Structure 1
């Protein structure tokens, strides 16, 4: 097991530790992580042949649990509160997903399976924990995912965050190369803020999909609709986003840059707190921060590396096509300009009525009725 764990790190980076020191370090770190996971997942006591309820979620067997249980009744949670304080306990979940704090998944799997003789209940517990952390506000529709074991919890978080659809990925990448046009330029210039898009008649709608690749855009006759999955933004979101980006930028990792592209897409929609207000009012961003200003600042402070990824190419191109269409946007602009308030609407109606009456008066003056 020691050799397997060492191979998970950069060659030579663990040479300073002998096998006993390295094993002790892995054991302490892994047991700390697993104690947190189990304290959140097992709120009921199982005896004899009883097993916790499980559900097939995203191709994995997951222990089903509720996040609404009273943490104060859990002795592990009480111990953490006593020694770390409430703030320290709250930061544990953020720190568990920092790139520098990752413990090899194989170590976690072996240790957690010691506590149960029931199949792969330990892995199901970890799957359920990460799934809940990522999708606590989402539905649990089953979607096939990669069956490869992750390297660590951060990769498991990323896997749960994404939808792996190889056909869709190939289709999007093919569109990037088709017909020799400068499609990357079009993609870059199509990044518009929420306020700009609304001015062109593009509405926003939250959808029940729980994966970032569920983002879609639909263009209708006189308006468009951008559909985005809901996301809870907690105080730890920035740290987790930055670590997911760092992980995707690291060597020997899945370099499809999906999370980086998603964060960049959302960042392009938010240039001002008013943009956040729109997305919050549509339940796309469930803001757990202090204000819309703080959330807007968070996105603006995240630096996105330049990546050659076309995961949202089709969506961005359809948005740009609708944005540039005068036929589809002029009615929206007229409504926005002249019917934005009741007084403006009444003024326009009065002016139109006056114009009609003037026309009728002129017509009957020039062409009086016969017989008079």
Structure 2
């Protein structure tokens, strides 16, 4: 082998080894928003009020928040009785490990000291907001009362995350309880189960508090997703799929005899398709409350899945599958109304806004394993019951006419019986 060949071989081998080493740390990284989902609304990607971490640090529209970070850091240190130098020193000592959590070269422009200052200020600011401390009127007004919805969006953006080890270190200084308790409370915004905050393992929550205690997420967004779905990835993959992706709207499912129902006590993103032996089927989904904040969370959890999932068919596209099924069900406003009527979706969004949200998002979404499981079961239902479906569709689409005809027939039968009765009584 000539010299050029040796250099090429060494180059490709070294590149592969570097990529594999980086890939082995996939779950610990703070990723950029994946290119495949970049067609979604930019408000779900770029922070609107505060930058957390290096990706959007220094953006002109976020600069006014920087002074608030200083005030939050000073207030937390003063309140806790810890000096700024002590807390900053701790962050500086773990700065190298924190730098390695970011997925691209965005940290290269910061010195170690500059990076530690950014982590210190951003982390203090985030923890102060999460603690909802209303004693300091300036910060409570600027961070919560006037910009609370913006903060709820920004803190769970994929590109706006801080390494968990930073939050963990600061929590030890400033908070009497672990950060995951706050995430548990915020997750209630999805309105999953009535007893969602209970510590009981039997309350319907996918992950118990004990499991959260030992789980080490890469960041807050990862913790939110884990709390909502737990170890759903890699389970229930017991049969091969034909990968059918034929769409069936809520209206079509109603026509063929598949009822939509909301799970009364289930885990977020769970869904099932059941068939009774005679005629009907039932598609059961976890109910969803959606507003501007948790619409953003859904998008970014799906983006996070696209970054870290690496196996097929036992993939990690759980949130993506759930969103894709909801998008499949809505082709027109009547379908959205059906989801509202069945209490599958609750929202302050208008019917049109919900339709646009799900359809626009699904265009860029990877179809996960659970999506194919459900659509295959729907297609199997159609293939195995053509006659019964035809009868059900006819009755469903002509129900009013049938009722009218039966009513007229009933009236005519009544008149006929009356006439016959009168005739029998005639002399």
Give distance in 2, aligned partners of 1:115 and 1:27.
Answer: 12
1:115-162 Cα distance to aligned partner (Å, 9 max, x none): 35x7xx324434434443445664432445685411011111221232
**Is 1:158 matched with 2:225?**
yes
**Is 1:346 matched with 2:409?**
no
**Is 1:192 matched with 2:251?**
no
TM-align CA RMSD: 3.1
Q: Tell me the residue number matched to 1:300.
A: 359
How far off its partner does 1:192 sit? 0.6
Query: Is this contact kept in 2: 1:163–1:213, CA < 8 A?
Result: no
SS in 2 for 1:75: coil
SS in 1 for 2:132: helix
Give distance in 2, aligned partners of 1:225 and 1:311.
Answer: 16
How far off its partner does 1:168 sit? 2.8
Query: Is this contact kept in 2: 1:80–1:89, CA < 8 A?
Result: no
Query: Is this contact kept in 2: 1:194–1:269, CA < 8 A?
Result: yes
Q: Tell me the residue number matched to 2:380.
A: 321
How far off its partner does 1:231 sit? 0.7
How far off its partner does 1:339 sit? 2.4
Unpaired segments ≥5 residues, structure 1: 41-73, 177-182, 359-372
Distance change >3 Å, CA 315–CA 138, structure 1 → 2: farther
Unpaired segments ≥5 residues, structure 2: 1-93, 197-202, 417-427
One of 265, 289, 292 as aligned partner of 1:235: 292
**Is 1:4 matched with 2:64?**
no
Query: Is this contact kept in 1: 2:255–2:392, CA < 8 A?
Result: yes
Q: Tell me the residue number matched to 1:269.
A: 329
How far off its partner does 1:306 sit? 6.0
How far off its partner does 1:113 sit? 1.8
* Paired residue total: 307
- Which piece of structure 1 moves more, 252-261 or 214-223? 252-261
Query: Is this contact kept in 2: 1:222–1:331, CA < 8 A?
Result: no
Q: Spell out structure 1 runs of 4+ moving beyond 6 A.
A: 352-355
How far off its partner does 1:279 sit? 0.8
After TM superposition, the score normalised by the length of structure 2 is 0.64
How far off its partner does 1:258 sit? 1.7
How far off its partner does 1:10 sit? 2.7
Q: Tell me the residue number matched to 2:79.
A: none
How far off its partner does 1:348 sit? 3.5
**Is 1:335 matched with 2:395?**
yes
One of 335, 338, 343 as aligned partner of 1:278: 338
How far off its partner does 1:193 sit? 0.7
- Which piece of structure 1 moves more, 250-259 or 98-107? 250-259
**Is 1:175 matched with 2:240?**
yes
Q: Tell me the residue number matched to 2:23.
A: none
**Is 1:204 matched with 2:263?**
no
SS in 2 for 1:350: helix
Give distance in 2, aligned partners of 1:165 and 1:257.
Answer: 10
How far off its partner does 1:101 sit? 0.9
Q: Tell me the residue number matched to 2:306.
A: 249
